[in-house]
Structure 1
Amino acid sequence: MDCRVVVEAAVPVYDVATADEAVRIAISKTGEMLNPDLNYVEINMGERVCPHCHETLDPAFIAADESLVALELEMTVFNVERDEHASRIARKEIGQRLTNIPLDIVEIEQLPDDEAESDEASDPDTPEGSDVLPEFEELIDE
């Protein structure tokens, strides 16, 4: 089974004046830490919601020219047994590169299996075991 795992990261950014600047720097900083080993991880702005009024907030919290930015890191994990297995692999892979940055699993989505599609794509009229190249005995007979 293959899964798409979304991990939330709290990335600290220093010497910033606006939330937009903090988000741009956090995405750049995270991309530098992940690349080139994990260049397949997608980096997106995280979504923060006020727990009281349920209003959407900026992904960056700024105080004293320092910011904490919520980012969502999305990756696909292949050949896992369960959702928990996929989340552990994603946290380990991302966590090894993003040292001292807290991570939290936001979403795990099972991807549809491609095995059924590949079975349908094979030609049922082709006998099993037929090869493109002739067998050794056929070459000797000629």
Structure 2
Amino acid sequence: MDCRVVVEAAVPVYDVETTDEAVRIAISKTGKMLNPDLNYVEISMGSRTSPDGEQLPPAFVAADEALVALELEMSVFNVEREEHAARIARKEIGQRLHEIPLTVLRVEPLEDGDDAGTRGSDRTDEDDATSDDHGEERAPVESTDGDANAGDDLLPEFEEMVEDER
């Protein structure tokens, strides 16, 4: 099963005056902490509501410091159940966002083709790439089906390229 996991992060930001500035800085700061290892995680503003249900800005600013609610979305592949996907996403993101509290907001099972715009969308066929239990993709394993000379086709091309360069 493949799942889309949305995690909420409370990102502290310092020396800001407005909520817009705080959100921009928090997104930039979070992106720097996640990249390049987790560049497939989508970062967006979180939503906050008051106890009465009133919409609030995604950041709370006081004394030139802010706490910004961000939503981080990622796809996790080949998991046993939704709880497993949530644990993997929280662990992967949490390892890079030190001292930032995380809460899993939702886990949605993906149907084939639902993960457009994420790391998984660069797969051309479900059978061509596989993932391990942590959502990390691995290259497909080529089978030689008993053909002992399967790798020999690569060597003549390489030698031809070297000769062409001389």
**TM-score w.r.t. structure 1 length?**
0.79
SS in structure 1 of the partner of residue 39 of structure 2? coil
1:27-68 deviations in whole A, cap 9, x for unaligned?
A: 00000000000000000000001112x111100001110000
Shift of 1:112: 1.1
SS in structure 1 of the partner of residue 16 of structure 2? coil
Shift of 1:93: 0.1
Counterpart amino acid of residue 34 in structure 2: L
Shift of 1:70: 0.1
Q: Give distance in 2, aligned partners of 1:94 and 1:112.
A: 23
SS in structure 2 of the partner of residue 112 of structure 1? coil
Q: Give distance in 2, aligned partners of 1:27 and 1:113.
A: 29
Number of aligned residue pairs: 116
Q: Tell me, yes or no, if structure 1 residue 25 matches structure 2 residue 29.
A: no
Q: Which has the higher contact order (CA 8 A, sep 6+)?
A: 1
Structure 1 gap segments, 5+ residues each: 119-134, 136-142
Structure 2 gap segments, 5+ residues each: 114-124, 126-146, 148-166
1:3-31 deviations in whole A, cap 9, x for unaligned?
A: 00000000000000000000000000000
Q: Give distance in 2, aligned partners of 1:40 and 1:9.
A: 16
Q: Give distance in 1, aligned partners of 2:105 and 2:47.
A: 11
**TM-score w.r.t. structure 2 length?**
0.67
Q: Tell me, yes or no, if structure 1 residue 47 matches structure 2 residue 31.
A: no
Counterpart amino acid of residue 7 in structure 1: V
Shift of 1:2: 0.1
SS in structure 2 of the partner of residue 33 of structure 1? helix
**Percent identity at matched positions?**
76
Counterpart amino acid of residue 90 in structure 1: A
Alignment of 1:31-70 (within 5 A): 31-52=31-52, 54-70=53-69
SS in structure 1 of the partner of residue 28 of structure 2? helix
Shift of 1:113: 4.2
